[in-house]
A and B are shown apart, each in its own frame.
Chain A
């Protein structure tokens, strides 16, 4: 048994040694054919990796807009068009949220603040929210931080602003607690900028987030203009049922008011993967390159085998079995393409993780660049090994069919 294992191990190792030596001897020829494989694997893996980054960028941007899945959005309205009683609505929402143990929920309203910049008074679009909104929308910060519990108690209301807003203030370090003067119900109010959100380069107008309680307390937006909706971040599985229940409960709790609760996160949009076509096209191109690389490899290894018929005959005369010849030739191809594939994958990782590429795909907006996807790397290596095995099969069969006595012709 042990002797058998020893012989088998020696057989396996010596086959590898032989193949590696063959590769070394024929390196120029092999190298040329492997460049194609490396390029194809690089392309394939880069596409898969880049798609993952692009997907992440898209998801994050969607999450910033409409919240993380599953995000329920509740809106309240009266058939007559009269304003909804805000206090009653808040109370009904809070109690419903508590009843269903919803961990993250926020009021959401859109209004306009009047801010005093050096060049005059400006109207600034504002999203009026509760503290949880930051987590629910994965709001990424460039400077400072998002609101924290207690910010609504401040004597000077806290503001989170976008980059154009911050730049209008002269980009002051947030550690210096920069302030901006807003117009409140009873005259000017000094607000403190606590954070600057990460802002896409396309956004050029000032924008801000304010806490609903602060807006209320200082009358930063005339009450008549504010129409609150509510958002709740809930488990995806429970979303559908919760939407139905919340609709019923809010309607019941607020007579004369209608409620509508719907999912609004990007996963509920349907329509499939917007990047799918792009992914398929580029992956298709990569597969074609890979097949061309394989074809080149087959041709070159066939030529190599023909050229080496005499060598194979010599090896066989020194005791190489036909199985051994088969595996050596196959292994040469597989070892070669696996190395080429590894190089292709390594280059793809370098390319996809390079700051240049991340900037290009992420547009400065991606918070968490995903690690290079393992499955992309594995697919790259696996396809190169597969190509090597396929490309090596024909030459290996040819090599086995070499008749020793013809090959060495004494």
Chain B
């Protein structure tokens, strides 16, 4: 079922001393439950702007966005904030953990905005989620005492603790080394699969992009498929324009296992 759909969406910004800048133009995109989408594009091509729109953090200047069938334009900011809290989880390149808070406090933060029972059960839910990302022993650690990979795993736990339907990851491996990046991606995909969440990953790393099922490319604000929309299981992108790196899946999987073992040891 469709979570969010973009129809002819554009984003233009006014500039004080220059003509308006069109960052995105006529984007058509639909994300359904359980989707695996990657978006590649050069720096400045509008990837983050697209993610802001998908995350209901920004409103389009052209076109229509529907979330769960409802026109986003008609929803109040407060309604959008609640929708965002309940349905969307963000993973950032710079982790964006709240400084001075322990891992579990970071993971509990989204639950503070839950107005149902999850707020009251926040401690248990956060503990479970940290256990799920392999940090069960480190729930009271401060982010600045953790490695980049560990911090990003805390961020993943935080993004997933409210069981969102849509996970938006902006360069999630950008601040990590190759091996750790692979581990983190594998973990995110696994947890997303367990909860049935759709995962949209923005990256300029072709190896990371290749892990998705649908591959999109942004160029100067225009979106296009990197390959023919593949069916389920069609994981091998046939793309000539963007070089796909030489990193294989197998070594990544092995690294993932190794790091997990280390954590558990």
A interface residues (Cβ-Cβ under 8 A, vs B): 6-7, 10-11, 13-14, 17-18, 21, 25-26, 310-311, 314-324, 404-405, 408, 410
Cβ-based interface call for B181 (8 A):
no
B141 at the interface (CB under 8 A from A): no
Do residues A317 and B57 form an inter-chain contact, with CB atoms below 8 A? yes
Q: Can you name 27 A-B residue pairings with CB atoms under 8 Å?
A: A10-B119, A14-B112, A14-B113, A14-B115, A21-B101, A26-B100, A311-B98, A311-B99, A314-B96, A314-B109, A315-B113, A317-B55, A317-B84, A318-B84, A319-B113, A320-B81, A320-B85, A320-B112, A321-B81, A324-B113, A405-B57, A408-B57, A408-B92, A408-B96, A410-B51, A410-B93, A410-B170
Taking the closest CB of chain B, its distance from the CB of A1, in whole angstroms, is 15
Known A14-B113, A322-B77; contact A317-B119, beta-carbon cutoff 8 A: no
User: CB within 8 A of B113: which of A13, A310, A320, A404?
Assistant: A320
Tell me the complex Cα distance, A11–B118, Å: 12
Q: Is B67 an interface residue (CB 8 A)?
A: no
Main secondary structure of the interface of A (DSSP, over half): helix
Closest to B53 in A: A405
B90 CB contacts on chain A under 8 angstroms? 317-318
Contact partners of A17 in chain B: CB under 8 A: 112
CB atoms of A321 and B82 under 8 A apart: yes
Q: List 10 A-B pairs, minimum CB-CB distance, nearest first.
A: A319-B85, A410-B48, A319-B113, A318-B110, A321-B81, A7-B115, A410-B170, A321-B78, A25-B100, A10-B115
Confirm or deny: B116 has a beta carbon within 8 angstroms of a beta carbon on chain A: yes
Which of the residues A21, A311, A404 comes within 8 Å of B105, measured between beta carbons? A21
**Number of contacting residues on B, CB 8 A?**
37
Shortest C-beta distance, B163 to chain A (Å), equals 13
| Chain B: minimal CB distance from A259 (Å) | 80
* A26 CA / B113 CA spacing, docked (Å): 21
Complex Cα gap A189–B60 (Å): 110
In the complex, are the beta carbons of A10 and B78 less than 8 A apart?
A: no
Write the residues of chain B forming the contact surface with A, with a CB cutoff of 8 angstroms.
48, 51-52, 55, 57-58, 77-78, 81-82, 84-86, 89-90, 92-93, 96, 98-101, 105, 109-110, 112-116, 119-120, 158, 162, 170-171, 202
- Which residues of the partner chain A approach B92 to less than 8 Å between Cβ atoms? 408, 410
Give the complex CA separation of A273 and B100 in angstroms. Answer: 54
B78: which A residues are within 8 A, CB to CB? 321-323
Point out which of B51, B81, B93 has the most chain A C-beta atoms below 10 A from its C-beta. B81
Alpha-carbon distance between A13 and B111 when the two chains are bound, in angstroms: 12
A322 to B55, CA, bound (A): 16
**B57 x A404 contact (CB < 8 A):** yes
**CB of A333, distance to nearest CB on chain B (Å):** 18
Asked if A319 and B93 sit within 8 Å, CB to CB, the answer is no
Nearest-neighbor residue (CB-CB) of B97 within chain A: A314
Q: Is the CB of A319 within 8 A of B98?
A: no
A410 to B57, CA, bound (A): 12
Kindly identify which residue among B51, B84, B120 contacts A10, using a CB–CB cutoff of 8 Å.
B120
Excluding A17-B112, A316-B57, A405-B58, 10 further A-B contacts by CB distance (< 8 Å) are: A7-B116, A10-B114, A10-B120, A14-B115, A25-B100, A317-B57, A320-B112, A321-B77, A322-B77, A410-B92
- What's the minimum C-beta distance from A15 to chain B, rounded to whole angstroms? 8
Min CB distance B241 to A, Å, is 24
Residue among A13, A315, A410 with max Cβ neighbours from chain B (10 Å): A410
User: Contacts of A408 on B, CB cut-off 8 Å?
Assistant: 57, 92, 96
In the bound assembly, the distance between CA atoms of A311 and B93 in angstroms comes to: 15
Closest Cβ neighbor of A15 among chain B residues: B112
Chain B residue with minimal CB distance to A7? B115
Measured between beta carbons, the chain B residues less than 8 angstroms from A315 are 109, 113
B54 → chain A closest CB, angstroms: 12
Residue pair A405, B96 in contact (C-beta under 8 Å): no
A311 to B202, CA, bound (A): 22
CB distance from A152 to the nearest CB of B (A): 76
Residues of A within 8 A of B58 (CB): 405
Task: Return A323 CB to nearest CB of chain B, in Å.
Answer: 6
Residues of B within 8 A of A317 (CB): 55, 57, 84, 90
Contact, CB under 8 Å: B112 / A18? yes
Inter-chain contact A314/B98, CB cutoff 8 Å: yes
Bound CA–CA A324/B115 (angstroms):
12
By the criterion CB–CB under 8 Å, are B101 and A310 in contact? no
- The residue that A25 contacts in the complex, of B55, B101, B162, B202, with Cβ under 8 A, is B101
Q: Whole-angstrom distance between the alpha carbons of A26 and B162 in the complex?
A: 26
* Residues of chain A contacted by B89 (CB below 8 angstroms): 318
Across the interface, name the chain B residue whose C-beta is closest to A9. Answer: B115
A6 to B114, CA, bound (A): 12
Contacts A11-B115, A405-B52, A410-B171 known; A318 to B98 CB distance under 8 Å? no
Query: For residue A320, which residues in chain B have a CB less than 8 angstroms away from its CB?
Result: 81, 85, 112-113
Given A404-B57, A405-B58, CB of A14 within 8 Å of CB of B119: yes
Across the interface, do B86 and A319 meet the contact criterion of CB distance under 8 Å?
A: yes
Nearest A residue to B48 by beta-carbon distance? Answer: A410
Question: Do B158 and A318 touch (CB < 8 A)?
Answer: yes
Of A26, A314, A316, chain B has the most CB atoms within 10 Å of the CB of A314
In whole angstroms, what is the CA distance A173 to B202 when docked? 95
Point out the residues of chain B lying under 8 angstroms from A318, CB to CB: 84-85, 89-90, 109-110, 113, 158
* Closest beta carbon of chain B to A90's beta carbon, Å: 81
Task: Closest A residue to B96 by CB, please name it.
Answer: A314
* CB of A408 to closest CB in B, whole Å: 6
